[in-house]
Amino acid sequence: MSEDIIDRSLELGIQCFQGEDYKGAAELFSKSLQLARSYTDRSLEGIREKVGLPKRCLHDPSRVYHPRYLVLLDNRAATWEKLNKLDRALADAAYMITVDAYNLKGYIRRGKVLQKLGRYEEALQVYENGLKQAGEAEKTHAIHAPQKFLDIVYRQRSTIKELLQSRARSSRSLTQQTVAKEPKLKRPATIDSLMPGKKRSSSKAKIDYIATLPVEIIERIMANMDTRSIIRCYSVCKLWKYRLERLPHLYQEFRLSCCYKNMLGYVNFVGALASRTAEYSCRSIQCVSGNVQEEEKSIILLLSRLMIGTRQLALMAKKCKAERIIQHICENKKLRNGVQRLSITAPVHFGHKLNLHELYTRTTSMTHLELVLNFHTPSEHVGGHLFPWQDHAVAETNLESFTLMARNYSVHHVNVIEQFEYSSVLFKRLKKLCITGIDFRLGDRNNLKWISDMPNLQELWLERNTGIEFHELITQIVQVGAPKTLRHLTFREPPNRHFDRMDQSQLGLGEEALREVFQSLESLDLMNTRFDPQLLLLLLQPACENRIARLNIGNCPRLSFARDLEILTLIFQQLPALTDLLLPNVMEYTRQGMEVLRKNIKGMKLKRLDLSFIPSLKGYELLDLLKELKGINPLGLETLTINGCTAVAPQTVDYITRNGYAQKVMCAYERTQWEHLGINSFWYR
């Protein structure tokens, strides 16, 4: 229990540190250190052995510390640095070396604090000692220091040496100047022979390159600069402004913040460029929320007065409503006609005013649309639909990619669901569809017929949506026989969903019908989804040609690594082209389940493997699997991810990389969970 308290206090301290509450962070780290010191030696030995560490410190067997002790000291030392209490930071850094003399973290922390104090000779000695201890650890215990820590030590040591040498040269120069006190004769001013009576300047004349060079050369110079730097040059003087205004095609990418004064200056700036070249347009405009108080009027100013076209427009707002943003985009003819990629992240206060129909009708060039919406419940009741789809003619769009993400559940989801009734017209050309966080129980779109109305769909991503079942999705696609071009399928259920006992036998799906629609499938992601394992086996069989290169079946409640060993064997045997296998947080992990994977791994072309959040995964089990894989591929894995696998010791991770079992290993013991909305989200509860 106390171990959990230490871990929790460590996480809270890190959160306080990131939130710049340094006093609170220091207090939490101090309490955690005090608790870590309260264990008996025997208890500490048991804890260290449990996480794969030696019972006693390798550099001094008479000492034993809690596994988190070094991290806590390092974090508290960093906190003291932020509070400008360098003496305390120095003391903690020194104690880090006492706790683990073979770990370069302590030497790096102590050396940097000494540098801040101006004690460079001592800092240099600390770095030298750290490299010496790292060499001893490698020679005596075969422990290799992380390359990034070695790079830091070498870099800091080199910096200090250069600084000390520079000081020494300056000191010698000053001494020589003091000794040589003989007066020097001043060189008489020379007279310019071409201009009698005028002294020649002893210094070289400065050249204004922007003012003197041809426009073609200026264009080549400016082409190597980003837009922000060019605009700074634009503001130097009137001459520079005059010449740079005649090169409007240099200004292609803009990143703006919601400051009204700056936004007004930007609008005037691009207006001046547009007046020089009638067809001027830029590549992308990105506007992020800065000053919340000025956000809405800044965004409205941009959308209403922008007189140029852009191929890509991304707007991220915290206060400005999506309804107003869409309205002003539709009203700006220059903007709506040129935009091809549109991304809007904003709140929705009145869903019935979200006029997507007009957006589709007016933005005829748009091929990619992303809507990340935060639905608010209005304080007053609003009834009716201001823009009912049935009252308007629905025009065909050129959309190839559509992403719809809701940050929260709301009754106003019905206003964005309604558009899917017209999928056969609106999304006829759609190749990629991503929908997350939508409640499809509202309205009539939970029958999933609209998905089969997209004949060209190649990638489908459905995550955390309510009212859509996985078996219903598969049944609908198979019964209609469309889309037949599906290459990537991701279906992730919302957390804490009710248990679904639907079996494959109840679906009535034939192998021939499945093969017809899923023969092009290349990746399948069913993380956090409850499904009959037999259904997964059926989905894999049509692609036994076999194209499936990526499979994610992590955290699937009905797929057990203890009870479904026969089905797992059949699943792994259906994946000859598999390069990416993701099994994070597998259900009921057992050694027998890992043995099934090991025996069938020879039939795959595995390059990337994710076994994150399997606390009972042992290091020797992982090594057996990797040795089997290396027998097939001498280069080993490209990437191995084992975040949260606390039973895999750091020495095992080092052994894996040192012996080439994996080129890159991602192992973060303290990363306990992700809670992050989006199409790349992972959640572990």
**From CA 485, how far away is CA 487, in angstroms rounded?**
6
Does residue 409 or residue 633 have the better pLDDT? 633
Amino acid 392: pLDDT:
62
Q: Is the pLDDT of residue 665 over 80?
A: yes
Query: Per residue in 32-87, pLDDT tens?
Result: 888 888 888 888 888 888 888 888 888 888 888 888 888 899 999 999 998 888 88
Mean pLDDT of 103-120: 89
Amino acid 502: pLDDT:
52
Q: Is the pLDDT of residue 496 over 70?
A: no
Mean pLDDT of 179-187: 48
Q: Which domains does the chain have, with CATH numbers?
A: 2-162 (1.25.40.10)
Amino acid 250: pLDDT:
78
**pLDDT-derived band of residue 623, with 50, 70 and 90 as boundaries?**
very high
List Cα–Cα distances, 269 to 228, 234, 307, 558, in angstroms: 12, 10, 10, 59
**pLDDT-derived band of residue 385, with 50, 70 and 90 as boundaries?**
very low
**From CA 467, how far away is CA 134, in angstroms rounded?**
57
Q: Is the pLDDT of residue 526 over 80?
A: yes
Amino acid 403: pLDDT:
92
Lowest mean per-residue pLDDT among 76-90, 257-271, 647-661: 257-271
Amino acid 681: pLDDT:
55
Q: Is the pLDDT of residue 28 over 80?
A: yes
Amino acid 369: pLDDT:
93
Mean pLDDT of 255-284: 82
Q: Is the pLDDT of residue 383 over 90?
A: no
Residue 552: which H helix or E strand, with range?
Answer: strand 550-552
Query: Per residue in 112-167, pLDDT tens?
Result: 899 888 888 899 999 999 888 888 888 888 788 888 888 888 888 888 888 888 77
The closest alpha carbon to 461, from 520, 541, 535, 405, belongs to: 405
Q: Is the pLDDT of residue 680 over 70?
A: no
- Percent pLDDT > 90 in the chain is 17
Torsion-angle region of residue 528: left (phi > 0), alpha (psi -120 to 50) or beta?
Answer: left
Mean pLDDT of 382-388: 48
Q: Is the pLDDT of residue 360 over 90?
A: no
Q: What is the DSSP letter of 379?
A: S
Lowest mean per-residue pLDDT among 81-90, 336-345, 531-540: 531-540
Does residue 526 or residue 225 have the better pLDDT? 526
**pLDDT-derived band of residue 202, with 50, 70 and 90 as boundaries?**
very low
**From CA 306, how far away is CA 310, in angstroms rounded?**
10
Mean pLDDT of 313-325: 90
Mean pLDDT of 175-186: 50
β-strand pairing of 432-436 with 488-492: unpaired
Mean pLDDT of 669-683: 51
Mean pLDDT of 535-541: 81
Residue 254: which H helix or E strand, with range?
Answer: strand 253-257
Torsion-angle region of residue 40: left (phi > 0), alpha (psi -120 to 50) or beta?
Answer: beta
Torsion-angle region of residue 308: left (phi > 0), alpha (psi -120 to 50) or beta?
Answer: beta
List of residues 6+ apart from 344 with CB closer than 8 A:
315, 322, 325, 326, 370, 371, 372, 373
**From CA 656, how far away is CA 207, in angstroms rounded?**
59
The closest alpha carbon to 112, from 151, 153, 72, belongs to: 153
Whether the CB-CB separation of 670 and 7 falls below 8 Å is answered with yes
Mean pLDDT of 282-310: 87
Most confident segment among 88-92, 174-178, 476-480 = 88-92
Q: Is the pLDDT of residue 484 over 50?
A: yes
Residue 537: which H helix or E strand, with range?
Answer: helix 533-540
Q: Is the pLDDT of residue 193 over 70?
A: no
**pLDDT-derived band of residue 368, with 50, 70 and 90 as boundaries?**
very high
Amino acid 577: pLDDT:
87
**From CA 611, how far away is CA 598, in angstroms rounded?**
13
**Alpha helices (runs of H) in 100-146, residue ranges in sequence order:** 104-116, 120-141
The closest alpha carbon to 49, from 605, 649, 582, belongs to: 649
Average pLDDT over the chain reads 81
Mean pLDDT of 295-308: 89
- Its pTM stands at 0.65
* 461 bridge partner residues: 434, 490
Does residue 641 or residue 396 have the better pLDDT? 641
List of residues 6+ apart from 339 with CB closer than 8 A:
309, 310, 311, 312, 313, 329, 363, 365, 366
